[in-house]
């Protein structure tokens, strides 16, 4: 004997009421017609209070406008949606819920309404925020240490090398120095000068004075020029519509990602020419690093990602940024970083 429609509905409601997730249903007029027991326990309100549009009273006042706009658009188009917003729990605390809805249709194809469910993401989001805060503190500590080391290299060790170079020149100019000693002193002087230049370059990379005084675009251009000179490579840098004022912490994160990304490309791509572009829009700032080298399989690289890639992801995650890598073997690599502004 076939089940009646009412039997099927009753069975569904029984299953829904025992489900641990929050479930709802609505009619074609965007009025909710059902909430399961888990929802009522969550809100602490009766079914009669929640039906229709009564449940909207629990939406956080700061979220209501954006929620209704997204919610109405989906209903008008009869398309699935996922919206994140805050709902007041029975104890008065607002919880961050992910509302996922799907349209339903009658046997004749007419629109019947929606069925949806909520997942409480509050604890997960809070845990992620704790991790982001820890990551930010670690990055801040790392930057302070970078600054200290850079200052030591520049103000102390580099100055000592400069004194050694001066003494070598004085020794070389002494009349009693023989020719063979002169050649050796010249070699030592050359090595000392080269080490001094390398330390100065390392000091600037550890802590960019250019970034502090001239901004992100100038710092990135300087980095590309210096790296090209030191590594005997060509790094083409271009910028477009970059805002004059970028928060210092975002500028620093982008510079560090640029340094790590270009260094990785120089080390692994197998080519000597690279491109870096910094572009600003009203919504975001985008950094792109491109090479035309050997490429790789991003899926395999992600499985065994090293500290460099992990560090880049952590830096931009602190600002809700994204990092994507486009690459194929023998077709080069493109690294794209986007940070909302």
Answer yes or no: are the C-beta atoms of 32 and 25 closer than 8 Å.
Answer: yes
Task: Calculate mean pLDDT across residues 314-319.
Answer: 85
pLDDT at res. 303: 56
Q: Give CA–CA dist 84/140, Å, rounded.
A: 31
Do β-strands 234-240 and 273-280 pair in parallel, antiparallel, or remain unpaired? parallel
pLDDT tens-digit series, residues 210-249: 888 889 999 999 999 989 988 899 999 999 999 988 998 8
pLDDT at res. 141: 73
Q: Over 60: is that where the pLDDT of 3 sits?
A: no
Answer yes or no: are the C-beta atoms of 23 and 36 closer than 8 Å.
Answer: yes
pLDDT tens-digit series, residues 87-104: 999 999 999 999 999 999
CA atoms within a 13 Å half-sphere pointing along the CA-CB vector of 55: 25
pLDDT at res. 10: 67
Q: Residue 278: which of 191, 216, 190 has the closest Cα?
A: 216
pLDDT at res. 20: 83
Q: Over 50: is that where the pLDDT of 315 sits?
A: yes
Answer yes or no: are the C-beta atoms of 308 and 314 closer than 8 Å.
Answer: no
pLDDT at res. 312: 86
pLDDT at res. 172: 65
Q: Over 90: is that where the pLDDT of 182 sits?
A: no
Task: Calculate mean pLDDT across residues 16-24.
Answer: 85
Sheet with 273-280, side-by-side order of all strands: 234-240, 273-280, 284-291, 333-340, 322-327
Task: Calculate mean pLDDT across residues 169-184.
Answer: 67
pLDDT tens-digit series, residues 57-90: 999 999 999 999 999 999 999 999 999 999 999 9
pLDDT at res. 305: 53
Q: Give CA–CA dist 67/99, Å, rounded.
A: 10
User: How remote is the C-alpha of 222 from its chain's centroid?
Assistant: 24
Answer yes or no: are the C-beta atoms of 337 and 322 closer than 8 Å.
Answer: yes
User: What is the DSSP-derived secondary structure letter of residue 331?
Assistant: S
Residue 80 vs residue 128, higher pLDDT: 80
Q: Give CA–CA dist 224/221, Å, rounded.
A: 5
Count of CB atoms situated within 10 Å of the CB of 273:
15
Query: Could you give the percent of the chain with pLDDT greater than 90?
Result: 51
Phi-psi label, residue 153: left if phi above 0, alpha if psi -120 to 50, beta otherwise: alpha
Domain 5-120 has CATH 3.50.50.100: no
Q: Give CA–CA dist 312/194, Å, rounded.
A: 30
Q: Give CA–CA dist 112/27, Å, rounded.
A: 6
Q: Over 80: is that where the pLDDT of 140 sits?
A: no
Q: What is the mean pLDDT of the chain?
A: 85
Q: Residue 288: which of 276, 298, 296, 280 has the closest Cα?
A: 276
pLDDT at res. 1: 42
Q: Over 70: is that where the pLDDT of 176 sits?
A: no
Q: Over 80: is that where the pLDDT of 4 sits?
A: no
User: pLDDT-based confidence at 197, cuts 50/70/90?
Assistant: confident
pLDDT at res. 180: 62
CA-CA-CA-CA dihedral for 289, 281, 313, 331, to nearest 10: -30
Find the range with the poorest average confidence among 41-55, 117-131, 156-170, 281-295: 156-170
CATH of region 210-341, choose from 3.20.20.140, 3.40.50.10800, 1.10.1040.10, 3.30.565.10? 3.30.565.10
Rounded to the nearest 5°, which phi and psi values hold at 292?
-120, 40
Long-range residue pairs from 195-202, CB within 8 A, at least 24 positions apart, any chain:
195/161, 196/158, 196/161, 196/162, 196/165, 198/230, 199/153, 199/154, 199/157, 199/158, 199/161, 200/153, 200/154, 200/158, 201/226, 201/230, 202/150, 202/153
């Amino acid at each position: 004997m076939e089940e009646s429609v009412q039997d099927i509905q009753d069975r569904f409601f029984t299953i829904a009421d025992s489900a641990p997730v929050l479930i709802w249903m609505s009619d074609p007029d965007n009025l909710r017609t059902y909430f399961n027991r888990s929802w009522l326990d969550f809100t602490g309100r009766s079914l009669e209070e929640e039906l229709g549009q009564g449940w909207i009273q629990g939406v956080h006042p700061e979220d209501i406008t954006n929620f209704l706009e997204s919610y109405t658009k989906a209903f008008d188009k009869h398309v699935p949606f996922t919206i994140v917003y805050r709902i007041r729990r029975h104890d008065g605390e607002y919880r961050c819920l992910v509302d996922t809805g799907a349209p339903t249709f009658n046997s004749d194809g007419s629109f019947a309404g929606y069925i949806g469910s909520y997942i409480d993401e509050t604890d997960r989001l809070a845990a992620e925020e704790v991790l982001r805060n820890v990551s930010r503190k670690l990055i801040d500590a790392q930057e302070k240490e970078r600054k200290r080391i850079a200052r030591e290299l520049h103000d102390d060790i580099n100055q000592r090398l400069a004194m050694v170079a001066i003494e070598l020149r004085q020794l070389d100019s002494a009349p009693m120095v023989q020719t063979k000693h002169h050649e050796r002193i010249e070699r030592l002087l050359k090595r000392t000068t080269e080490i001094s230049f390398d330390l100065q370059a390392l000091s600037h990379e550890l802590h960019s004075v250019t970034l502090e005084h001239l901004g992100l675009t100038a710092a990135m251009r300087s980095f590309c020029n210096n790296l090209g000179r030191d590594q005997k490579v060509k790094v083409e840098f271009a910028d477009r519509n970059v805002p004059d004022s970028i928060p210092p912490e975002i500028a620093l994160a982008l510079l560090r990602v640029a340094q790590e990304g270009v260094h990785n490309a120089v080390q692994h791509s197998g080519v000597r020419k690279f491109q870096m572009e910094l572009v600003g829009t009203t919504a975001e700032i985008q950094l792109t690093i491109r090479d035309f080298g050997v490429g790789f399989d991003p899926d395999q690289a992600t499985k065994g990602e090293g500290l460099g890639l992990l560090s880049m992801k952590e830096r931009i995650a602190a600002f809700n940024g994204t990092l994507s890598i486009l690459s194929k073997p023998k077709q080069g690599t493109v690294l794209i970083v986007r940070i909302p502004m």
